[in-house]
Structure 1
Amino acid sequence: MADDLRYVWEQPEWPNLRYDAVQVGEVVAKARRAQGVVEGKLAVLGFDQQQELAAEAWSQEAMATAAIEGERLDLAAVRSSVARRLGVGDQTGPNAPRNVEGLLDIMDDAVTRCAEPLTHERLHAWQAALFPTGYSGMTKIMVGSYRAHEEPMQIVSGRVGREQVHYEAPPSVRVPTEMDRLLDWFNAEAEFDTLVRAALAHLRFETVHPFKDGNGRVGRVLVDLLLARDSGEVSRLFRTSQRLFERRNDYYAQLEKAQHGSVDVTEWVCWFVEQMQAACEAASRVVDDTLVKARFWLEHSTKPLNERQRKVLNLLLNAGPGEFEGGMSTEKYKKIAATSRATASRELIEMEALGLLEQVGGGRSTRYYVKLPGWVGAFRAWVI
């Protein structure tokens, strides 16, 4: 293999990865500012509101980290399990399968026990929780231990007979030594910033690829643990796996590039920290929407509304400006509120009269939108 295509673990300097501290420092500063904005906005929310945000973020993170591996989870089951764990929201939904509960277990363990050292046993337990039956799909795999005595561990894509090898991990005989090194480094907390440590920890773990299966999910939980050490429970709101899923082609490409050639991983660290910044900015927008909803209900707290009307208003507020396609019609209200058409029409008109909704159009084209600055204009774009 040509020198410029050698795997990083074949380099004499491995596993001492290096990066340009000045270049990385500039990226970290921007991410930290974005993180600070989120934490500042959260300070004005009550505990219950923060928990509700954390529950939804955790649910979406579980969906995303599984989706990166090509696995689709039942969102309703994930949400109900998370709700029961945090004691918020609707806890009466369907039960999640054992492997999904296992994923939520390790995500929770990373946050609630973030201050504890990372050990081989803890990593083994995380991986085993993902495969409670000892099978990955139809294939029996080693669980609760590192891979051993096997063919080369390769990351491939493409159909059978035309596979493309993207990466080949160190042979299994090297895994115990490599994981000793990784854990020594991880627990020493040597890097100047936690976000940099998260980028390097994820890369180093995925490069060693210590397990037969589950490496991606466990590697992203390492990021969760480090963020929790940095921000505590607030870290649940930073949907890093969701961001990586949204940019998964770049994610794969950046990982593959960093795993070949030089031990200088400046490009990888900068890219990863930039995704953290984007995740913080997305979290900031979610908090903004929550603040808008809170102010709306505070302003209209004395308005006489029934449960149907509150349900529909919350649906529109949760969707956000321009996101409830087509606005609220009488027919939609009838179905959502499980009521008659006459009642739906009357209750929509009542809410308009109370200053909660604004009507656009007339006749069969009548639509109602939450009466908030900037919201009605955004919704009108759907009907133009």
Structure 2
Amino acid sequence: MPTPNPPASPRYIWQHRAWPQLSFDAAALAPALDQARLEQGRLLGLLGAIGLEQANAVQRDLWVQEALATAAIEGEQLNLESLRSSVAHRLALADAPGADRSVDGLVQVMQDALANHSAALDLDRLCRWQSALFPGGTSGITRIAVGRLRDHADAMQIVSGALGREVVHYEAPPSDQVASELDRLLTWFASTRPSDTAPTSTAVNGIARAALAHLWFESIHPFEDGNGRLGRALADMALAQDMQAHDAQASPVLVRVYGLAHQMLKTRAAYYDALNHAQRLRGVTPEASTIDATPWVQWFVQAFTRACVTSQAVVRDATDKAQFRLRAAQCHINARQSKVLERLLDAGRVGSGGGFLGGMTNEKYAKITATSKATATRDLSDLLAHGLLRVEGVGKATRYAVNVPGWEQPALKA
């Protein structure tokens, strides 16, 4: 009789006997977690010092930024105007969302995960989230299972590379195991929810808990598509629960401000590498009683810290813009001038990666405001006289920038 093939050696963490007992070295991570709390506190302190109108502006900007980023990580480009419209609608700043249902669906998922972070997370809610991402039942032009767990017999693999030369980065549990795997995750998520009454010695650090939840969800990969966006929404929900446990009076505005997806997009290759490394059985002995996720948690905590620092800059910019708008209003400028100043403010400061491309010119002003070059010259001269613009260059090389203290002057080109 032929000898049966021996079982393949386990390669992924869900194949280990200790799965899903994920652990991390709290002592080793203590400095990183302390730094994360410090930057989180600084961010929340900045937000607490600004008015409601500015806080809403920050929330809107960061929400748009996060939605663009979480989609872009998966290679999807969202329509910016539809996204802004949908976010404004969810913030009660507009009567109706944009016309793009998939964009509005993503915004709804983000809103539900954060604004309703105290509500129980169950299978039905996750299925409704996934369904909202694909309102037409397709991913691109491919029909996919929507609103239910994946049930196909083929292996769920994360693959890259050209056809015929694919590289398998990860293979998730078979579809017939997904329901039970997800049930264990949801039970853990509910039982480890942070509380202001939980003993410090027994509570899981809220930021580390968000890291573990994200790793666990992505390792199960329960849906046919949308797992990345849903896993990041789950992490955001965990962070919102953590913040609420630290401050029961925290405003709903504050739970949207961390910008984690944007940070992950900026370091997308490192994000995927860290996740892939954590999902493989590298260095985990067969006898281990837990699976050490310390490197992944370390990466996630550091990403969260950098996201808080970036969001601090967004809050400071919002404060700068609000003070500038007050100055402009006191100068009684006309509608054309207001429109151009808003365009320059929206472009942001050059030092933070923004800035109006090439600087503002007389010709650009005339085009934006649909006016003559002579009128553009008078308007720009008036804004200079009021100190609302600053200028560099002469003649055809003349360029204008918004005069916000601390904002860099763009590198001007003819």
Question: 1:224: which partner in 2?
Answer: 236
Offset, 1:371: 2.9
CA distance in 2, matches of 1:37, 1:61: 20
Matched, 1:131 2:131: no
Question: 2:321: which partner in 1?
Answer: 293
- TM-score using structure 2 length: 0.86
Question: 2:409: which partner in 1?
Answer: 379
Question: 2:246: which partner in 1?
Answer: none
Task: Rate the CA distance shift 1:320–1:59 in 2: closer, same or farther, 3 A.
Answer: closer
Deviates more, 1:225-234 or 1:112-121: 225-234
Give the counterpart of 2:310 among 282, 285, 308.
282
Contact 2:150 2:223 in 1 (8 A): yes
- TM-score using structure 1 length: 0.93
Offset, 1:319: 2.4
- Spell out, residue by residue over 1:224-283, the C-alpha distance to the aligned partner (whole angstroms, 9 max, x if none): 212222344312122211111111111111111000013211000010111111111111
Task: Rate the CA distance shift 1:325–1:251 in 2: closer, same or farther, 3 A.
Answer: same
Give the counterpart of 1:251 among 242, 267, 271.
271
Question: 1:366: which partner in 2?
Answer: 398
The correspondence of residues 254-273 of structure 1 with structure 2, limited to 5 A, is 254-261=274-281, 262=284, 263-273=291-301
Contact 1:199 1:272 in 2 (8 A): yes
Contact 1:80 1:91 in 2 (8 A): no
Offset, 1:326: 2.8
Contact 2:57 2:318 in 1 (8 A): no
CA distance in 1, matches of 2:348, 2:98: 29
CA distance in 2, matches of 1:276, 1:329: 39
- Spell out, residue by residue over 1:192-214, the C-alpha distance to the aligned partner (whole angstroms, 9 max, x if none): 22111110000000001111111
Matched, 1:210 2:222: yes
Matched, 1:352 2:364: no
Matched, 1:98 2:101: yes
The correspondence of residues 327-346 of structure 1 with structure 2, limited to 5 A, is 327-346=359-378
Task: Rate the CA distance shift 1:18–1:141 in 2: closer, same or farther, 3 A.
Answer: same
CA distance in 2, matches of 1:251, 1:333: 41
**SS of equivalent to 2:412:** helix
**SS of equivalent to 1:382:** coil
Matched, 1:199 2:204: no
AA partner of residue 269 (structure 1) = V
Offset, 1:296: 2.3
The correspondence of residues 116-155 of structure 1 with structure 2, limited to 5 A, is 116-155=119-158
Question: 2:20: which partner in 1?
Answer: 15
Task: Rate the CA distance shift 1:218–1:374 in 2: closer, same or farther, 3 A.
Answer: closer
**SS of equivalent to 1:166:** strand
CA distance in 1, matches of 2:163, 2:52: 52
Matched, 1:304 2:336: no
The number of aligned residues is 379
CA distance in 1, matches of 2:346, 2:116: 32
What percentage of aligned pairs have identical amino acids? 47
CA RMSD of aligned residues (A): 2.1
Task: Rate the CA distance shift 1:53–1:91 in 2: closer, same or farther, 3 A.
Answer: farther
Deviates more, 1:308-317 or 1:257-266: 308-317
- Spell out, residue by residue over 1:315-364, the C-alpha distance to the aligned partner (whole angstroms, 9 max, x if none): 22332333223322111111122211001001111111122222322222
CA distance in 2, matches of 1:205, 1:23: 24
Specify which structure has the higher proportion of helix.
1
Task: Rate the CA distance shift 1:337–1:117 in 2: closer, same or farther, 3 A.
Answer: same
**SS of equivalent to 1:29:** helix
Contact 2:55 2:253 in 1 (8 A): no
- Spell out, residue by residue over 1:38-89, the C-alpha distance to the aligned partner (whole angstroms, 9 max, x if none): 111112222122112212211221121111112111111111111112123x
**SS of equivalent to 2:391:** strand
Offset, 1:188: 0.8
CA distance in 2, matches of 1:370, 1:276: 31
Offset, 1:152: 1.1
Contact 1:325 1:379 in 2 (8 A): no
CA distance in 2, matches of 1:371, 1:75: 27
Offset, 1:91: 6.5
AA partner of residue 12 (structure 1) = R
Question: 2:4: which partner in 1?
Answer: none
CA distance in 2, matches of 1:248, 1:354: 44
**SS of equivalent to 2:390:** strand
Question: 1:56: which partner in 2?
Answer: 61
Offset, 1:300: 4.6
Give the counterpart of 2:347 among 299, 309, 319.
319
CA distance in 1, matches of 2:410, 2:22: 52
**SS of equivalent to 1:142:** coil
> Can you give the 5+ residue segments of structure 2 that lack an aligned partner in the other structure?
1-6, 194-202, 244-251, 285-290
